């Protein structure tokens, strides 16, 4: 793994919008918060553009992200929001300059596209809060404060409440994954997961239960699940049922899909489309320790 440099006071960072459109006030407030943390902040030229559901055209969204990727003075790229559009933006990018001097890329949800690409190229990135979740009710969120700690090089240890569906065990591996729907959409492409030696993190929002099952069965039949070293399930927010009930919760569906394997499985980790949304270094090494009374996830 080729880790980007950790952040220091005075470093220059960028905010760009490679996916969904976003209110300019949210981004400007996010920039102000980052400046208060001691960073210089550059907002992408097209960060406030609107093209239907997207933050401007594919070309313009890619222009801003490409500029941030290439700019050697920028030490981290904060994504303003998810939504949809990252895969379209990705198609217009050239990463050659970035690979020579990687920098941190931070976001979640639709940003799983970029995490997948970077993990497959041995460069860690951060699954963490975007601008709308830097603060809540005028107070900096714990998720944002933990993100700042991670970006400055401190390794976090998460103690997770035990869950009845957990599977006990110990594992060490590279963390991969993100949003389950995005993982599913990238199957069969160069962005697909290489599961050997990986611990898979998955979360999702606003999906029918049968669709969660379909995606998990795809990972099972495609031999992704059987080759993992561990699995962590985050939030499954606003799950839905069709007129005919599926009859199982998202966590029950996931547990059933991995029933044949022996690696540790953790449910209820605080990351995804709710707060707290703890920062995870995708592509970084973590350890899992799961017993009936204790669940510890440690960044190594």
At 1, the pLDDT band (50, 70, 90 cuts) reads confident
The predicted pLDDT at position 76 comes to 98
pLDDT of 67 above 90: yes
pLDDT of 104 above 90: yes
| pLDDT one-digit tens code per residue, 132-169 | 999 999 999 999 999 999 999 999 999 999 999 999 99
**Reduced to 3 states, what is the DSSP secondary structure of residue 15?**
strand
* Cβ(18)–Cβ(64) below 8 Å: yes
pTM across the whole model: 0.97
pLDDT, the chain, mean? 98
User: Is 189 exposed, middle or buried (CB count within 10 Å of its CB: 0-12, 13-18, 19+)?
Assistant: exposed
pLDDT of 21 above 90: yes
| pLDDT one-digit tens code per residue, 23-56 | 999 999 999 999 999 999 999 999 999 999 999 9
Which CATH number is associated with domain 157-299?
3.50.30.60
Q: Does domain 12-151 have CATH number 3.20.20.70?
A: no
Across the range 179-185, mean pLDDT stands at 98
Tokens of 134: 């830097």
Where are the chain's structural domains?
12-151, 157-299
| pLDDT one-digit tens code per residue, 199-221 | 999 999 999 999 999 999 999 99
The helix, strand and coil proportions of the chain, stated in percent and rounded to the nearest 5, come to 30, 25, 45
Q: What are phi and psi of 94, to 5 degrees?
A: -120, 120
């Amino acid at each position: 793994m080729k880790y980007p440099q950790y952040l220091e006071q005075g470093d220059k960072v960028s905010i760009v919008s490679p996916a969904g459109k976003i209110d300019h006030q949210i981004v400007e407030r996010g920039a102000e918060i980052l400046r208060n943390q001691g960073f210089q902040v550059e907002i992408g030229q097209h960060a406030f553009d609107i093209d239907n559901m997207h933050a401007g055209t594919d070309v313009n969204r890619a222009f801003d992200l490409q500029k941030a990727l290439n700019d050697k003075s920028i030490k981290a790229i904060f994504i303003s929001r998810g939504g949809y559009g990252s895969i379209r933006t990705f198609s217009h990018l050239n990463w050659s300059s970035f690979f020579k001097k990687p920098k941190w890329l931070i976001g979640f949800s639709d940003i799983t596209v970029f995490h997948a690409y970077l993990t497959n190229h041995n460069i860690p990135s951060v699954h963490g809060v975007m601008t709308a979740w830097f603060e809540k009710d005028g107070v900096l969120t714990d998720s944002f404060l933990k993100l700042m700690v991670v970006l400055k090089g401190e390794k976090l240890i998460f103690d997770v409440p035990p869950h009845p569906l957990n599977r006990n065990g110990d594992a060490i591996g590279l963390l991969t994954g993100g949003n389950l729907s995005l993982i599913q959409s990238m199957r069969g492409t160069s962005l697909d997961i290489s599961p050997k030696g990986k611990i898979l993190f998955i979360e999702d929002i606003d999906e029918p239960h049968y669709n969660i099952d379909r995606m998990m069965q795809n990972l099972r039949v495609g031999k992704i699940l059987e080759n993992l070293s561990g699995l962590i399930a985050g939030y499954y927010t606003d799950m839905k049922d069709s007129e005919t009930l599926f009859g199982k919760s998202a966590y029950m569906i996931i547990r059933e899909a991995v029933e044949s394997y022996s690696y540790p499985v953790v449910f209820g980790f605080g990351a995804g489309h709710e707060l707290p949304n703890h920062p995870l270094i995708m592509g970084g090494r973590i350890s899992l320790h799961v017993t009936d009374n204790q669940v510890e996830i440690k960044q190594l």
